[in-house]
Chains A and B, each alone.
Chain A
Amino acid sequence: MQVIQLLVTGLAVGSIYALVALGFVLVYTAVNVVNFAQGDFSMVAAFFMVSLVVTAHLPYALGFVISVILAGIAGYLFQLGIYQPVKNRPRNFLPVMIATVGGSIFLQHLFLILYGPVPLQLPSVFKQQTVDLGGVHVYPQYLLIIVVTAVMVALLNWFFERTKLGKQMQATAQDPTTARLMGINTARMNALTFAMSTALGGLAGILVAPVYMVTTTMGSLIGLKAFAASIVGGFSSVKGAIIGGLAIGIIETFGGTYISGAYRDAFAFIVLVLFLIFRPYGLFGEKVSQKV
């Protein structure tokens, strides 16, 4: 029975990583940079949620939607301040990455100033502690996380495959020059990609907040592990981000229980290093030769 409980926990934690990892992959495929502050938007949204629901007593669902949108807006502003200025510099990968590391420090400490160092509690939408699924007791919040993530992935798939905006974003990611010639506003598409990725991160943060506490550092470990997940998945693959996220969540949960609780946070990185040594292009990534 414990195995099933752990599996549910692992899938839920993995879903969180998968959502954040999706954000990494979207931005990377669109503009070829990595946003190291990606995880911090989970923290940002969770704090917004606490303010809106706990302090301002807004209905849970409304607070949820507003927080996710605010996380998206924060992501838009973030790319405006950090990505846009260095966008056209040759070999901008390193500067963008370092600037986003700076952005991550800034965000964390800005929220430390705004909300203080005491961890805050975001109640779950569910009243009861556990639900009984034929003898297996699981947290309902975990089930919610898994369901919302599944719905979100389906929605994203619909958005990218079926809507005009989604196709424009795909076109921009695949070939910006041609996309621009076709009359697509690529700068706007890229900004939208950033906003979407941080909104996804925000969604993850709100979902996971009732399980952990809301702290200013909650996003950094989530972000790092999600990043590890996206590399395990193949970095430019949406499918890979999801599978990688789930895999890391499950490995970490089982490892933390059966091998060592104290080293729980290390498993993601050990898996990562093993992948980098033996399969550096990940589960679904194609081995691409650098263009010469």
Chain B
Amino acid sequence: MAKQILKFIPVVVLLAIIPFLLPGGRLGTYYLTLTILSVSYAIACLGLTVVLGYSGQVSLAQAAFYGLGSYTLAILTVKHHWPFWPSALLGIIIPTLFGLFLGAISLRLTTHYLALVTIGFQVIISLVLNNWGTVTGGADGISNIPRPSIGPLAFTNDRAYYWLMLVFLCLAVYVVHRLRHSRLGNALLALREDEIAASAAGINLFWAKVLAFSVSAALGGLGGVLYAAGAMYISPNIYIFDQSVLFFSMTLVGGQESIIGTMLGAGLLTFLPEWLRFLKDYYIAVYGLLVIIVVLFLPEGLWGLVQRGVRAALRLMKKPRPTQTAAVVETLMSRPASVKRPVATDQVLLEVKDLHKHFGGIKAVNGVSFTVRKGDVAVLIGPNGSGKTTVLNVLSGIYEPTAGEVWFNGQNISGLKPHVINRLGIARTFQNIRLFPELTALENVIVGHYPKGRVGLAGTLLSSPRGYLEERIARERAEETLHLLGFTRIHEKAKNLPYGQQRIVEIARAMVCQPQLLLLDEPAAGMNTEETKELSHLVYRLHELGFTILLIEHDMSFVSQVATQAYVMDFGSKIAEGSVEEVLHNPAVIKAYLGDDAEYDYA
């Protein structure tokens, strides 16, 4: 981690010497004022890096949090004569509380709803600042806001105050950087990439969103506090929706996921109107166009462009290394098959009792009961549309059952949230592979290890040794698991992997926590014969390792090789059960698969 922090040192040094680089006289003073402004913007924008860049949630209320910070400081110091530092602290806490609230109601909301709620919040805050004259000073705002001092050190002149701000900027950078490289940061990225998969991997979506919003609001508040003390005068027309859009544009244009990019964006868009004086009246229109251009052509922002350029240049300088061809079958796969497979015990692990799931008038699952014993490889088979995947979605908590119960290890788990069920020891894969596409294979599996961690936000930010230990363990476990499955391209982004390999990574993500029950939803779907063969080998080996597995499958040759117990579904109901041999010869099953006239085919 120390190495990663090092890259910020040149940036900090550069920022620190800016006052010496500015021209003298009034122009220099003016530029210093702008620089102070841009640092407070950068801090607010770093909040957006967390909420937009990491967790993928749109917040158009950053100016409201910025305003809450400014006004808290101004009201307490000017009207109530509080000392500076306690007021500043409250100036961070109050926006954070509002952030908690916004995060909390955002749980039910997908992107556009959430964006609108944040806009609504922004509009309401603007109205309050303008209209609640007795407290906020109304349209006149509040003046004579003091600058802070620490003991004998008074930060009254602009230069000293600027350096004080840089200290806080470094703090903000540290918080955002530390968050990104922690277990919590991984959870936020997972949330951004795929909410359902994140939830099924044991991440509590509610807390992840609340976390993102409150950190973002805290940084917005900090930026606002520093702005108010820097400008010494505030009025409500600064904290309007347009300002939120400006913060948003800064983050986006610089590079939403990158700390340096965000700071670059904040600096650039603060100074751009100065440099484009000939565009004085048009510059906001130019911002609008800039946002469109960045979204259309530079999704990683300007900093992403710079990085890509640097990488391309480095590649030209270095000789190409021969790419390693992955040995597909290794380790677990190459182990000789043991003579004896583990025999299922009598201990019932999962019991499904008369399960119903209806969608409106459609009875997707209509009274299904079955059990999985510890040590089983149970398989749920049935024609397309017979309700198998729906059963799995109910078991993993993605759907709530309409009626019936699911018992796991003697506990009724019906209707629990996916992340709770995951933590109880059921992990799953998805029929249409739900990896986190922008994360590497290794990061995907590390996210799977999330439920094993305990260190929260405080521990993460205070760099508790426990946090680092947990992160190391997660990484090691993830590497081991991938290695065990013979997977080598661990630093490749998931979206760049071929289908079969994506499936392996998804299985690794599900098994990294050593779940007591592994749910595999059509693992052979979309695979060719060779891959299917490897996969059946893999499932066989997982069973040997002691995993209890419930899988859904179409491929009969696959099923007959691995399953110890089979249940057959048709039209939402169970029509047969027994060993694979038995059910395949069951007349009801043949009828379900081949229709009533099947016998004529044999005749």
Contacts and interface: CB of A to CB of B under 8 A. Distances in A.
Contact of A273 (B105, B284, B285): B105
B252 interface: yes
Interface string B125-146: 0010011000000000000000
A98 B291 contact: yes
Interface stretch (A68-76, A126-134, A263-271): A263-271
Interface in A247-292: 262-263, 265-266, 268-270, 272-273, 276-277, 280, 289-290, 292
Given A263-B127, A265-B127, A269-B124, A102 B117 contact: no
Interface stretch (A46-54, A55-63, A103-111, A206-214): A103-111
A219 B244 CA distance: 18
B310 interface: no
Contact of A262 (B127, B292, B389): B127
Contact of A98 (B242, B287, B295): B295
Interface residues of B, number: 48
A154 interface: no
A228 interface: yes
A176 to B, nearest CB: 19
A231 B245 CA distance: 22
A103 B288 contact: yes
Q: Identify which of B241, B249, B252, B292 gathers the most chain A CB atoms within 10 Å of its CB.
A: B292
Contacts of A262: 127, 130-131
B496 interface: no
Nearest to B296: A85
B116 A113 contact: no
B408 interface: no
A86 interface: yes
A113 to B, nearest CB: 6
A179 interface: no
Interface stretch (B107-115, B159-167, B536-544): B107-115
Q: How large is the interface on A (under 10, 10 to 19, 20 to 34, 35 or more residues)?
A: 35 or more
Interface string A73-111: 000000001100110001001110111011111111110
Contact of A109 (B115, B248, B282): B282
A266 B295 contact: no
Contacts of B56: 94
A28 to B, nearest CB: 8
B127 A97 contact: no
B463 to A, nearest CB: 32
A266 B281 contact: no
B113 A276 contact: yes
Contacts of B430: 292
Given A94-B56, A109-B282, A224-B120, A289 B290 contact: no
Contact of B131 (A102, A106, A228, A263): A263
B299 interface: yes
Given A262-B127, A269-B124, A276-B109, A98 B58 contact: yes
Interface string B367-400: 0000000000000000000000100010000110
B393 A102 contact: no
A93 B111 contact: yes
A97 B282 CA distance: 23
Given A85-B296, A113-B282, A290-B196, A105 B127 contact: no
B338 to A, nearest CB: 35
B285 A105 contact: yes
Given A99-B291, A276-B105, A276-B109, A113 B285 contact: yes
B284 A86 contact: no
A272 B120 contact: yes
A102 B290 contact: yes
Contacts of A99: 291-292, 295-296
Contact of B299 (A82, A95, A220, A266): A95
A34 interface: yes
Given A97-B58, A266-B123, A280-B108, A105 B287 contact: yes
A105 B123 contact: no
A48 B130 CA distance: 32
Contacts of B295: 86, 95, 98-99, 102
Contact of A276 (B117, B288, B359): B117
Q: Identify which of A85, A94, A265, A292 gathers the most chain B CB atoms within 10 Å of its CB.
A: A292
A228 B116 contact: yes
27 contacts: A36-B115, A93-B112, A94-B56, A95-B295, A97-B111, A97-B112, A98-B248, A99-B296, A101-B60, A102-B289, A102-B291, A103-B288, A105-B245, A105-B284, A109-B282, A112-B285, A224-B119, A224-B123, A228-B120, A231-B116, A263-B124, A263-B127, A272-B120, A273-B105, A273-B117, A276-B109, A280-B109
Kindly list the 10 A-B residue pairs having the minimum CB-CB distance in the complex, ordered from nearest.
A102-B291, A106-B288, A269-B120, A105-B288, A109-B285, A102-B292, A262-B131, A34-B112, A99-B295, A280-B108
